[in-house]
Amino acid sequence: MFKTRGLLITLEGIDGCGKSTQATILARRLADSGIDFLPLREPGGTAVGENIRQVLLDNCYSPSLQAELFLYMAARSELAEQVILPALRDGRIIVCDRFTDSTLAYQGYGGGVDLDFIRLLNHRATGGIVPQLTILLDLPVEAAAERRGASADRMESKDIRFHQRVRNGYLEIARFEPHRVVVIDASGTVEEQGELIWQLILELVAAKRTTGF
């Protein structure tokens, strides 16, 4: 595994789980507490990545599953090499909205791509970075669809069975890696979830300061 001085924290969940709201709340609390951090999102976070994001989410394209997989990986590779690895080497705290688990959940469990193949590509694309903490916001697919409302990008427009497989996949990832992935019930209030997330972050930052891992 890649050795780092920094911290990589990732947020995951199905579309409509409230992840972006929690990312915003967390960013505000970190900033208010004077904790330096770098907010990132996937796909995105670099010029190349943001352009790939547009292609991936635009309803006017319909790439094959394999093309879609490689586009997510290309964006990840660029972000890891250009931004994440240097920031971790500098000892920074990164909060990334989606990362490697999204590909396992969406293209793997959701789309049916071989999970070991995705793990291999993830490893290549990231240089072996594994988040120290992943917060999984879990919500039933029906509730998430309601929260998303009418306007939907290409990924959000996939049918409910796809989103159910993605949710089940996320929960399986959390069962396999309970030391890394913490599941938060996203049907709680925004404030309750924000507080749970904040406590997790504070514990991790304190542990990092005391032990340096």
Reference 80, options 113, 103, 57; nearest CA is 103
CA distances from 11 to 42, 58, 113, 135, 151 (A): 10, 23, 22, 5, 23
According to the binding rule CB under 6 A, does residue 10 interact with ligand TMP?
A: no
Residue type, 162: F
* Residues 40-79, mask of contacts with ligand TMP (x by CB under 6 A): -xxx----------------------------x-------
Find the shortest distance in angstroms from Cβ 198 to ligand TMP.
Answer: 21
CB nearer to ligand TMP: pick between 55 and 205: 55
Query: Quick one: which of 103, 126, 132, 193 contacts ligand TMP (CB under 6 A)?
Result: 103
The DSSP string of 152-208 is --TTTTS-HHHHHHHHHHHHHHHHH-TTTEEEEETTS-HHHHHHHHHHHHHHHHHHH
- For the record, the structure tokens of 212 come out as 């340096």
According to the binding rule CB under 6 A, does residue 155 interact with ligand TMP?
A: yes
According to the binding rule CB under 6 A, does residue 102 interact with ligand TMP?
A: yes
CB nearer to ligand TMP: pick between 77 and 102: 102
* Residues 176-195, mask of contacts with ligand TMP (x by CB under 6 A): --------------------
Sheet holding 93-97, edge to edge: 37-41, 93-97, 7-12, 133-138, 181-185
According to the binding rule CB under 6 A, does residue 106 interact with ligand TMP?
A: yes
Where along the sequence are the contacts to ligand TMP (CB under 6 A)? 15, 41-43, 72, 98, 102-103, 106-107, 155-156
